[in-house]
């Protein structure tokens, strides 16, 4: 009897062990949610003495579909999986170099949806993204409640992270919180006409605050895939204008590529010029070879001439400078304007261009 009970117990424990880390929901295997009270759920996550503002950053899509211990295909990052963390840590170090040169950097690990998920129809993308957003919203509120300590902050993300920033502005923002937001950078993702919120105010120059900054980089307008098309706003990170004036390479402060440990491997300035296409709002880049930045494994999403994967590298120094510029502007003004105050000047500047 004891032997039989022991065998049953072993089988039960093995079953629990094999299924730990993911559960079946509507036929999909979904990893367990992170616990943001644990330091291990964060890349960074501590404030440094003397730094006056924070960056809350959401990493882009870096994980492909994979099989869990049951051999079921999983369409979400497992935040506890070492190889998944390794996949996102390099992009996180890139972002930290851009956004947190003088700021505290808080970036949650989350159950991002996989690269293959973005090739599905909109209904599947949104259903899966609900899981990712559940984590992002939980991390954001934990950050505000326990880590932020009332400091002004910047929201930033790229690609899937850019989508998450847009949703945070739509779903989690309020007037009191907005007054502490220096700016939002939902980079590499379109802001649609249907994305309606008093806190979604597009940037019109280099130092306005309480605004969002976005662009999608291509060699030609037809290189913009459907997934990234339809944005109602874009800004040129070389001249910080929203019109179609070409910014010359003299304004390009530096393309930066980093090693896995975050150290700079290469840097080159004054090589890229860019303008915004009037029809698509795509940021059209000249001065680089499209073939050099084409990734065949991502061909279903990004055709040759689409620079989505490397656009933070291309504009590393311009973005780094702009974060500091907007922060300085915020502190010089004393606070970000209210939503009603920021809309009218923005509308006047846009009309005048």
Q: Which two tokens stand for residue 122?
A: 């909109």
Task: Residue 29: count other Cβ atoms within 10 Å of its Cβ.
Answer: 22
Asked if the structure places residue 246 within a domain, the reply is: yes
Asked if the structure places residue 138 within a domain, the reply is: yes
Residue 273 phi/psi, 5° resolution? -115, 160
**Alpha-carbon torsion, ordered 171, 173, 175, 179, to 10 deg:** -160
Asked if the structure places residue 20 within a domain, the reply is: no
CA 196 vs. chain centroid, Å, equals: 19
pLDDT tens-place values along the chain, 353 residues long: 444 444 433 333 333 333 345 666 666 889 999 999 999 999 977 888 889 999 999 999 999 999 998 899 999 999 999 999 999 999 999 999 999 999 999 999 999 999 999 999 999 999 999 999 999 999 999 999 999 999 999 999 999 999 999 999 999 999 999 999 999 999 999 999 999 999 999 999 999 999 999 999 999 999 999 999 999 999 999 999 999 999 999 999 999 999 999 999 999 999 999 999 999 999 999 999 999 999 999 999 999 999 999 999 999 999 999 999 999 999 998 765 555 444 433 332 322 22
| Domain membership of residue 58 as a residue range | 26-348
Asked if the structure places residue 5 within a domain, the reply is: no
Residues for the chain: how many in total? 353
Query: Based on the structure, what is the number of domains in the chain?
Result: 1
Asked if the structure places residue 161 within a domain, the reply is: yes
- The alpha-helical segments, DSSP class H, found in 27-69 are none
Residues 6+ apart with CB under 8 A from 334: none
Residue 136 phi/psi, 5° resolution? -60, -45
Q: What is the DSSP letter of 30?
A: E
Asked if the structure places residue 234 within a domain, the reply is: yes
CA distance 198 to 170: 8
Asked if the structure places residue 17 within a domain, the reply is: no
Q: Which two tokens stand for residue 5?
A: 């009970």
Asked if the structure places residue 47 within a domain, the reply is: yes
- The alpha-helical segments, DSSP class H, found in the chain are 2-19, 82-99, 122-142, 160-171, 175-178, 311-314, 316-333, 339-352
pTM: 0.89
């Amino acid at each position: 009897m004891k032997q039989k009970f022991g065998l049953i117990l072993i089988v039960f424990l093995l079953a629990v062990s094999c299924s730990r880390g993911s559960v079946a929901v509507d036929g999909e295997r979904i990893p367990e949610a992170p616990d943001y009270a644990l330091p291990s759920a964060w890349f960074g996550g501590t404030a440094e003495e003397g730094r006056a503002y924070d960056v809350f950053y959401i990493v882009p899509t870096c994980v492909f579909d994979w099989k869990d211990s049951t051999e079921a295909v999983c369409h979400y990052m497992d935040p506890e999986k070492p190889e998944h963390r390794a996949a996102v840590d390099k992009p996180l170090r890139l972002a930290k170099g851009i956004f947190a040169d003088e700021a505290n950097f808080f970036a949650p690990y989350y159950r991002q949806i996989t690269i293959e998920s973005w090739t599905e129809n909109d209904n599947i993308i949104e259903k899966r993204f609900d899981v990712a957003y559940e984590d992002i919203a939980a991390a954001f509120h934990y950050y505000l409640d326990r880590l932020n300590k009332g400091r002004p902050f910047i929201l930033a993300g790229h690609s899937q992270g850019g989508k998450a920033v847009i949703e945070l502005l739509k779903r989690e923002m309020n007037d009191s919180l907005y007054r502490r937001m220096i700016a939002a950078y939902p980079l590499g993702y379109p802001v649609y006409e249907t994305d309606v919120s008093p806190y979604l105010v597009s940037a019109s120059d280099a130092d306005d605050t309480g605004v969002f900054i976005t662009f999608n980089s291509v060699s030609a307008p037809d290189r913009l895939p459907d997934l990234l098309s339809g944005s109602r706003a874009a800004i040129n990170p070389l001249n910080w204008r929203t019109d179609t004036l070409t910014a010359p390479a003299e304004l390009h402060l530096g393309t930066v590529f980093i090693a896995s440990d975050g150290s700079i491997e290469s840097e080159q300035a004054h090589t890229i010029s860019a303008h915004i296409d009037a029809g698509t709002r795509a940021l059209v880049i000249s001065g680089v070879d499209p073939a050099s930045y084409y990734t065949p494994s991502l061909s279903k999403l990004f055709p040759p001439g689409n620079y989505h994967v490397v656009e933070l590298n291309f504009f590393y120094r311009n973005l780094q400078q702009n974060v500091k510029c907007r922060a300085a502007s915020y502190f010089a003004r004393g606070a970000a304007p209210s939503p009603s105050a920021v809309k009218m000047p923005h509308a006047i500047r846009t009309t005048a261009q």
